Amino acid sequence: MLVSGLGPRPALARSFRSASDSGHPHGSPFRSSAKNSVPSDHVRRPNVPPESPTLGLSHLQFEALLSAARASANPNALALVAVLGLLGLRIFEAISADIDDLGEEHGHRVLRVVGKGTRIALIPVPPAVCRAIDRASEARRAGPILLNTRGVRMDRHAATRRLRRLAAESVVRLPRMHPHMLRHTFVTAMPDAGVDLRDLQIAARHADPRTTMRYDRARNNLGRHPNYILAAYMASGT
């Protein structure tokens, strides 16, 4: 604070010198130095477990869930399981998807989704998933892909109820279902199907590969070690 013609007030100036000379953690508010640390540097970061705590389904369990969905009289059941477990959509992406979001790109059927951070992605849709989506949308040309039992857009609660009903009808005992379990299954099944980490990261749309690695429960399997791949490659030329 300045008083006209007098410069800084002496008491105020002394308080600033006291703050900077007495070891105050922030020092003088008027002093800037490259050595000053960013406040966030002192925040203790939470420990992130090496593996995702969410439990996915085994191959057999997912096949049983798919079979129950195929047997359902409601075509939205199979479409829900397919877009979550075979496309790896997050639940908010699945229930927000509209028929207008389906299209073609370079000869592939694709689904346009708005993901985290409003990032737009084009998701390739395999033929089996296309058939499930087409059955659910029937002759409709617009509106949501997934409908609840009242014929309006499905929400996450209706999706959870539908999955739990299918689990109860399955011939294989399944855990208490929730939608993210199917995205988790999508990611954890890919390494077993031979998908490498980079392609898996792209499919899961993870910004950080470390996030993808948390889903790879078999990453410590020595039988998958790249040394074997390299040795086989090098031996082929000798």
Domain assignment present for residue 115? The answer is: yes
DSSP letter, residue 125: -
Helix (H) or strand (E) holding 168: helix 156-169
* Opening angle at CA 187, ends 210 and 74, nearest 5: 150
pLDDT in tens, 136-161: 998 899 999 999 999 999 999 999 99
Q: What is the pLDDT of residue 211?
A: 73
235 part of a folded domain:
no
**Beta strand 108-114 pairing with 102-105:** antiparallel
pTM score of the predicted model: 0.67
Side-chain half-sphere exposure of 220, counting CA atoms within 13 A: 4
CATH code of the domain covering residue 96: 1.10.443.10
Task: For residue 132, give its domain range.
Answer: 59-217
Whether 10 is covered by a domain: the verdict is: no
Cβ pair 215, 188 in contact under 8 A: yes
Q: What is the dihedral of CA 151, 156, 160, 161, to 10 degrees?
A: -40
Choose from 46-55, 149-158, 209-218 the range with maximum mean pLDDT: 149-158
How many domains would you assign to the chain? 1
CA–CA distance, 192 with 214 (Å, rounded to integer): 15
